[in-house]
Structure 1
Amino acid sequence: MITSAVNTGSTFPGLYMVEAWGRRPLLLFGAIGMATCQFIVAGVGTGIGTANEIGQKALIAFVCIYIFFFACSWGPCAWVVTGEIFPLKVRAKALSMTTASNWLLNWAIAYATPYLVDAGPGNANLQSKVFFIWGGFCFVCIFFVWAMIYETKGMSLEQVDEMYAKVGKAWQSPGFQPTVSFQEVAEVGYERKSSLVDLENSAQRKKSIGTNEYAA
């Protein structure tokens, strides 16, 4: 009940932060917070134990804090990012694959966790130590976001394509400024064999002609 309330309530700040902060900062914020909470839960559960009352309260508190970090960052923002990063011609198939892989991995984690946590024959008996594994994955997510996720805040899908063509490193993407809007590309006209450079140059020429005519 408590965790469900925290999960639901924490989603609403994420709806604001995804546009106010941007995709990369929010995902980094969430990954750092989740990794920290997971390692604390693992350390408390392993060092103090789950039978200790203070340890129990600490575990519940940091699990709730972890849920907050997830629900306001990776929970909603992951779907925003996957909806923006794919080109239009493969977007439907790519989104289908991301959704399918998400639920497949959710099932795999839910299926494997009891065997990892429980004691007895055939089980790993990790108990609270399993949070070291989850925390390790969250820690890897920090570097994954920094190195692989482009900042798409405030961009149209066409501008995202332009960014991918011009920016070679994800960590350089926050400073990218699109040079051609979707409307300008549409006015020039899109041909299947036209490259991004061709479309950009045509749009810039059209813009220059319009400026000169206005000045005259």
Structure 2
Amino acid sequence: MALFHVQGLPIGWIAIMLAVLASMGGFIFGYDTGQISDILVMDDFLLRFSDCSTPGDVNTCAFSDVREGLIVALLSIGTLVGALLGAPVADFLGRRYAMTVECGVFMIGVLIQITTFNSWVQFAIGRLVSGFGVGSLSAAVPMYQAETAPPQIRGALTATYQLFITFGILVAYCISIGTRHISGAGSWRTVVGIGFVWPIILGVGILFMPESPRWLTAHGRFNEARRTIAMTRGIPVEEADNHRFVHRELEEMRSAIEFESKEKAGWVECFRPQRMALYRTLLGMTLQMFQQLTGANYFFYYGATIFQSVGIDDSFVTQIILGAVNFGCTFGGIYVMEKFGRRIPLILGGVWQSMWLFVFAAAGTARDPTTDEGIGKLMIVSACLFIFGYAMTWAPGIWILMGETFPTRTRARQAALSTASNWLWNFLLAFFTPFITKAIAYRYGFVFAACNLTGAVIVYFFLYESSDLSLESVDMMYCDPNCKPWTSRSWAPEGFASRKELVEQSKAAEAHKPLEAGGAEESRYEHHDAEKTV
């Protein structure tokens, strides 16, 4: 039975469960991102891996810019490679088995880290290996969620990936504040070692979820695809073969895949101008680049260090406040992206984020925050308001778009290229931030403010509105020469006057009632049914 209805159409509990479970891949990413900021300022970690002018005196210990940058940023190099490898692995093994293998890789990296004694290089290599798993998951999870989720709630379900990233960051902060007073290596080894739990949950649990119906259809496993569609829709599996709604979704997938399979799909196909493939590849890579250039990871990677520099006595507590704002506001982001589409939230979010980064940078440049308590508080408030906007718009929005912008035939590779762009810029920012902040201090915020405004402009001129459409219809929209990004909100497939009419036709299909509008579409499936009967 259906768990509930959206726009009059049924949604099964399996659709929610698979999205939430797959989002543990985001939790793994967030936990690994959040832990390093606090680990870098733990006493035992500093004594073991930094340079100390007086051995045994933590107050004389500090990381060089290169060492600190490599410890933080090598994870991003691993994720970049992992994202590119994730595409062929997900296509070959299937989305579920690929995630299980990638969880195993991540656990190997955790093992390398916690067995480190005095070599910061070994710890950094462990983060590199973990990055292979995180990067592959970052390509596979949003793709699996988008391919499996019903169109009516695809945005919300895909956004759970970002929600779990923020949850992972917050949990890492909370665990770090609880372990920082443990004597010896237990302070940081406990934080890293708990990282074993999350991939076990995902790697084992995902095996009990259905495979992506689009992947099954592409491999000719139509009966399994029907069952998956029925399960996500809350339709009894025994009715899947004869249920019109299931039949219609499967036929739409088959038609799109058969059309796409006429040409061999490879990496080169992602860069061909035909059917807007190159356009969408570059758009995805650009959006992922600007998600990093919003400046969010400036706070997540180096937050503890930043807040120490503005005179905050307990930077761990401030990190938790920032993480809580990020996590809490992402719930609002899920609603915003589902209610208002993709374009408007990203444009307004870019402007909002730019404004508060400008305040952050201007305040830190005008006065010394270590001696002016009011300025320090203003900078923390502006950072929280920046995170508020980011969590509501750019954080979930870009990951949603990675799952729904590309055609089925090249989706894995284009998503991998786009995600690799994210990780490349993630590495560049993580590695060079210590050098940049030493040179220009808080004026770094002005750079991010300008990038946010540029991202908003790019969304307006190049991103098509893909909410409420099936993945196959999104592909049709991008290939329609009469549709422009700024007019795409009103676009609907041929035979429909608007997207509202398309939704109404889908409701009628579920209720087994023909509509006057969209009748040609309905009769096409009826004709197909008649041919099968004959």
- CA deviation digits over 1:43-89, x for unaligned, max 9? 11112332311111110000011011111111111010111111111
Per-residue deviation, 1:169: 2.0
2:153 maps to 1:153 = no
2:498 maps to 1:179 = no
- CA deviation digits over 1:62-121, x for unaligned, max 9? 001101111111111101011111111100111111222212211110111110011xxx
Structure 2 gap ranges (5+) = 1-319, 496-501, 507-518, 527-534
Query: Is contact 2:483-2:491 (8 Å) kept?
Result: no
Counterpart Cα distance in 1 of 2:454 and 2:477? 25
Per-residue deviation, 1:165: 2.0
Q: Cα gap change, 1:110/1:165 in structure 2, threshold over 3 Å: closer, same or farther?
A: same
Instruction: Give the aligned partner of residue 91 of structure 1.
Output: 411
- CA deviation digits over 1:12-31, x for unaligned, max 9? 11111111011011111211
Q: Quick one: which of 342, 347, 356 aligns to 1:23?
A: 342
Instruction: Give the aligned partner of residue 445 of structure 2.
Output: 131
2:425 maps to 1:110 = no
Range moving further from structure 2, 171-180 or 138-147: 171-180
2:393 maps to 1:79 = no
When normalised by structure 1's length, the TM-score is: 0.79
2:355 maps to 1:36 = yes
Alignment RMSD, CA only? 2.4
Range moving further from structure 2, 42-51 or 126-135: 42-51
2:382 maps to 1:62 = yes
Counterpart Cα distance in 2 of 1:24 and 1:17? 11
- 2:351 is paired with a residue whose SS is helix
- 1:126 is paired with a residue whose SS is helix
Per-residue deviation, 1:2: 1.0
Instruction: Give the aligned partner of residue 191 of structure 1.
Output: none
- 2:374 is paired with a residue whose SS is helix
Q: Quick one: which of 456, 461, 468 aligns to 1:142?
A: 456
Overall identity of the aligned pairs, in %: 33
- 2:479 is paired with a residue whose SS is helix
Instruction: Give the aligned partner of residue 10 of structure 2.
Output: none
Counterpart Cα distance in 1 of 2:465 and 2:324? 30
Counterpart Cα distance in 2 of 1:27 and 1:44? 26
Counterpart Cα distance in 2 of 1:142 and 1:37? 15
Count residues with an aligned counterpart. Answer: 186
Structure 1 gap ranges (5+) = 119-124, 185-202, 211-216
Counterpart Cα distance in 2 of 1:86 and 1:64? 33
Q: Quick one: which of 366, 377, 381 aligns to 1:47?
A: 366
When normalised by structure 2's length, the TM-score is: 0.33
Per-residue deviation, 1:205: 8.2
Amino acid at match of 1:173: S
Instruction: Considering Cα pairs closer than 8 Å and 6+ residues apart, tell me whether 1 or 2 has the greater RCO.
Output: 1
- CA deviation digits over 1:149-196, x for unaligned, max 9? 110110001111121122442111111122367x99xxxxxxxxxxxx
Amino acid at match of 2:403: G
Instruction: Give the aligned partner of residue 178 of structure 2.
Output: none
Q: Within 5 Å, give how 1:195-206 maps onto structure 2.
A: 204=520
